[in-house]
Amino acid sequence: MTPRNSGQMKLGAFLMAGGHHIAAWRHPDAIADAGVNIDHFIELTRMAEAAKFDMVFVEDAAAIRERDPNLASQAARSTMFEPLSLLAALAVNTSHIGLVATASTTYNEPYGLARAFASLDQLSGGRSGWNLVTSASELEAENFVSSGLRPHAQRYERAEEFAGAAVALWDSVDEGAYRLSDGVYADPDKLHPVDHNGKHFTVSGILDSPRSPQGRPVMVQAGASDAGKNLAARTADVVFTAAQTIEEAQAYYSDLKSRMVAFGRQTDDLKILPGVSPIVANSESEARAKYEALQDLIPDEVGVALLASYLSIKDLSQYPLDGPLPDMPPTDGIQSRQQLIIDQARRENLNIRQSARKFAGARGHWQLIGTPKQIADELEERFRAKAADGFNIMAPYFPGALKDFIELVMPELRRRGLFREEYEGKTLRENLGIRIPERAA
């Protein structure tokens, strides 16, 4: 018999300005300044916390998202708070929900980043998480280095070393090191200077923060290339991924969990949360109408440009839009997403225009359109079939689509015993059911 997941799934709420659909900013309920409206993000996070989500997640890229100003004017993806600043504000407005932010190993240094997440962990009482990315955007590279985007293998080599240095810094202070008694401020036996001399970094010293209330900030990753999966299997506590079919999701799940064993880790110490973009209504026809109304808001040129950016093609519009995707050379960008797009186009016989419209809805993530029961059925099937430990909910538009999921789908998940009624603990690790890590030797 095929092994099946039991227990309860984990849920993240992936926050993104007006929503994950590329045309969300054109929705009738859109908030004009959503990307830099703190009240908007506080409302969304409190909504997710009231629903007992495990975490909210904020992505980042230190660049505008479109090179062409005319496209930027139609996509609304380039105005957003810096994530750690945003999560610090959310920390003091919440009490239980996890707070996960993206930060790049390519354009940061280990000490500064480890210090920032340690501070967020103290501010939040042990609820922070770091989504480690290597940054695959040429636009982002142009803001930091004159040589352009670094090769994929080099970025992951640096990321591997970066992650090890960050963990060493978090582990440089034992629990109870700052005891403030017997005339001693800090116990020298509980302070462990880092001595890291690697190819990319030299790090020495001790992090200027007490040990995290949850041992370390939760490590999150989203890599699906071979190098990305190895890094996740070695270091991650949570993995975000994209999978269109249950077979793809099961293959990824099995592969990643198997790699964990090879690195001497227990498979329960990592939660795999595929992204899902749900549109729910009380009838299937109503849900479908909501989806089509959003799709009708996508200008062709915006959808094609978004698709081209993930395929690492400079100008996809040079090809006939009603023709097939062209053959593409390997990319130094997001290799796994490029392959996902190609596979979906071949599987569903999509031309460029159709691929672009479909991709623009959720950037290659799983889209669900239907009634509360239909959506709960789909989520339960993948959870039970060991294709996921839970899901990262990517509302197509905010706040309405997130509110619909909470009010319509989550009661059905709870009725089936698939999601919690109350938080199990105070820290993100406790609520995820992930052990506090021992200090690295």
Average pLDDT, integer, range 319-332 = 76
What tens digit of pLDDT does each residue of 242-251 get?
998 999 999 9
Rounded CA-CA distance 406/53 in Å is: 10
Residue type at 223 in one-letter notation = G
What tens digit of pLDDT does each residue of 52-72 get?
999 999 999 888 776 766 666
Rounded CA-CA distance 264/15 in Å is: 33
Q: Please state which of the ranges 78-87, 314-323, 369-378 shows the lowest mean pLDDT.
A: 314-323
- DSSP 8-state assignment for residue 198: -
Q: Does residue 346 lie within any of the structural domains?
A: no
**Distant-in-sequence, close-in-space partners of 43: CB < 8 Å, separation ≥ 6:** 399
CATH value at residue 70: 3.20.20.30
Model pLDDT, residue 348: 83
Q: Does residue 258 lie within any of the structural domains?
A: yes
Average pLDDT, integer, range 286-298 = 93
Q: Does residue 327 lie within any of the structural domains?
A: no
- DSSP 8-state assignment for residue 427: S
Q: Does residue 439 lie within any of the structural domains?
A: no
Q: Please state which of the ranges 6-10, 81-85, 91-95, 331-335 shows the lowest mean pLDDT.
A: 331-335
Rounded CA-CA distance 34/24 in Å is: 11
Percentage with pLDDT > 70 across the chain? 93
Ramachandran sector of residue 176 (left: φ over 0; alpha: ψ -120 to 50; beta: rest): left
CB 224 within 8 A of CB 336: yes
CB 268 within 8 A of CB 7: no
Q: Does residue 350 lie within any of the structural domains?
A: no
Q: Which residue has the higher pLDDT, 338 or 210?
A: 210
Q: Does residue 1 lie within any of the structural domains?
A: no
Q: Does residue 285 lie within any of the structural domains?
A: no
Residue 333's pLDDT band (cuts 50, 70, 90): low
Residue 278: strand pairing partners: 368
Number of structural domains in the chain: 1
Model pLDDT, residue 329: 66
Average pLDDT, integer, range 381-409 = 98
Rounded CA-CA distance 19/14 in Å is: 9
For 120, the token pair is: 């967020």
Domain of 234?
A: 10-278+366-432
Q: Does residue 437 lie within any of the structural domains?
A: no
Average pLDDT, integer, range 149-155 = 89
Model pLDDT, residue 1: 38
